[in-house]
């Protein structure tokens, strides 16, 4: 059975935009975040304090964080790759950070320029500081099912990192199918392993939809009791260092899907569709959300 309430964690302003080559000005990013929040979403990953040499699109993250009108009760986490990024995040008074080690060697080298082991060591430094400072820490793990460089990844490797992250103080571990290669079968096998070391409420599902498996993978996870889902407005997203990966599960499609299951999300479908249209119009490309496409065409 699926939980009666699901927490949506919106990653569009970060995961969604980081892969776009057209630079999105700060005021458009800020307006997008505000529209997503106005639609009822309570968790919006809003920025990323990574190296601007690596991801130029996120180079105005300080300005984004300074300009958003923070609504009480809404969580605006940011991605942090190292202590340098953490210092910047602190200057912006963030309450939650997300760290993002890889589950595979090949992707770790491409995305973080270091080994999995070294990545875990660096992220542990960041997490230790953040926990000491009283911030919430969310731990992603990338390439939980398959890696564009190393192929399939064994669930035991991911369970081991999950266990470490929880012991270190992450309130939640988000399982990233970065490439979107998972299927309901591989996701189920992965979760069976992970649920031997973590409770369902400590996990989130972060599915890219490259192979169109996002919603069925999600259902497999929800049926095992997971209550948090990452999605991206308009289905934007992808990692510049995971060549061939497409966007995340679209928030509009997720909201429609959850309505169908009778799950309470407190999100206004019309308003979230408007937010999706706002950003796809700016980017000048069709939305990746099927629900948005159908409704916009009416």
Active site residues: 239
Q: Would you count residue 15 as binding Mg ion (CB under 5 A)?
A: yes
CA dihedral 10, 74, 50, 92 (to 10 degrees): 170
Q: Which of the ranges 13-21, 25-33, 55-63, 165-173 carries the binding residues for Mg ion, by CB under 5 A? A: 13-21
What six digits make up the tokens of 93? 């008074």
Cα gap 137→166, rounded to integer Å = 10
Cβ neighbours for 42, distance < 8 A, ≥ 6 positions apart = 7, 8, 73, 74, 75, 266
What six digits make up the tokens of 281? 């119009």
Q: Which of the ranges 29-37, 77-85, 131-139, 283-291 carries the binding residues for ligand HMG, by CB under 6 A? A: 77-85
- What is the SS3 assignment for 165? helix
Of positions 13, 85, 101, 155, contacts ligand HMG by CB under 6 A: 85
Q: Which does 140 bind (CB under 5 to 8 A by kind): Mg ion, ligand HMG, none?
A: ligand HMG
CA dist 91 → 48, 68, 95, 251, 292 (Å) = 14, 15, 11, 30, 37
Of positions 22, 66, 84, 243, contacts ligand HMG by CB under 6 A: 84
DSSP bridge pairs for 7: 228
Q: Say if CB 183 and CB 217 are below 8 A apart.
A: yes
Q: Would you count residue 15 as binding ligand HMG (CB under 6 A)?
A: yes
Q: Say if CB 231 and CB 221 are below 8 A apart.
A: no
Q: Would you count residue 209 as binding Mg ion (CB under 5 A)?
A: no
Q: Which does 54 bind (CB under 5 to 8 A by kind): Mg ion, ligand HMG, none?
A: ligand HMG
Which secondary-structure segment (H or E) carries 174? strand 172-177
Tell me how far, at minimum, the Cβ of 249 lies from ligand HMG, in Å.
11
Separation of first and last alpha carbons in the chain: 34
Q: Which of the ranges 8-16, 44-52, 77-85, 149-157 carries the binding residues for Mg ion, by CB under 5 A? A: 8-16
Tell me how far, at minimum, the Cβ of 264 lies from ligand HMG, in Å.
26
Of positions 108, 142, 251, 289, contacts ligand HMG by CB under 6 A: 142
Q: Which of the ranges 7-15, 71-79, 108-116, 263-271 carries the binding residues for Mg ion, by CB under 5 A? A: 7-15
Q: Would you count residue 123 as binding ligand HMG (CB under 6 A)?
A: no
Q: Which does 81 bind (CB under 5 to 8 A by kind): ligand HMG, Mg ion, none?
A: ligand HMG
Question: Taking Cα atoms as reference points, which of 107, 195, 98 lies closest to residue 143?
Answer: 107
Question: Taking Cα atoms as reference points, which of 10, 134, 31 lies closest to residue 77?
Answer: 10
In the complex, the residues that contact ligand HMG under the rule CB under 6 A are: 15, 18, 48-55, 81-82, 84-85, 100, 111-113, 140, 142, 176, 178, 206, 208, 239, 241
In the complex, the residues that contact Mg ion under the rule CB under 5 A are: 15
């Amino acid at each position: 059975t699926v939980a009666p309430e699901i927490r949506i964690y919106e990653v569009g302003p970060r995961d969604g935009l980081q892969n776009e080559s057209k630079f999105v000005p700060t005021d458009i990013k800020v307006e997008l975040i505000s529209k997503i929040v106005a639609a009822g979403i309570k968790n919006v990953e809003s920025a990323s304090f990574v190296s601007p040499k690596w991801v130029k699109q996120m180079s105005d993250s300080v300005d984004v964080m300074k300009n958003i009108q923070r609504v009480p009760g809404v969580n605006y986490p940011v991605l942090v790759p190292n202590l340098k990024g953490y210092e910047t995040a602190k200057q912006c008074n963030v309450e939650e950070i997300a760290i993002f080690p890889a589950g595979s060697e090949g992707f770790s080298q491409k995305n973080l320029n270091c080994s999995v082991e070294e990545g875990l060591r660096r992220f542990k430094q960041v997490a230790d500081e953040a926990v000491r400072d009283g911030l919430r820490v969310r731990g992603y793990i990338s390439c939980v099912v398959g890696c564009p460089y190393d192929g399939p990844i064994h669930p035991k490797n991911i369970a081991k990192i999950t266990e470490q992250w929880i012991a270190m103080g992450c309130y939640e571990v988000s399982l990233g199918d970065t490439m979107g290669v998972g299927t309901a079968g591989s996701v189920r096998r992965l979760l069976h392993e992970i649920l031997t070391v973590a409770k369902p409420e400590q996990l989130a599902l972060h599915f890219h939809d490259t192979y169109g498996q996002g919603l069925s993978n999600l259902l497999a996870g929800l049926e095992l009791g997971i209550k948090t889902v990452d999605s991206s407005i308009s289905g934007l997203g992808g990692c510049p260092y995971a060549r061939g990966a497409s966007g995340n599960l679209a928030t509009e499609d997720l909201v429609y899907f959850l309505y169908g299951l009778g799950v309470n999300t407190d999100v206004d479908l019309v308003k979230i569709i408007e937010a999706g249209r706002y950003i796809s119009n700016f980017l000048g490309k069709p939305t990746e959300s099927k629900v948005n496409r159908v409704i916009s065409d009416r």
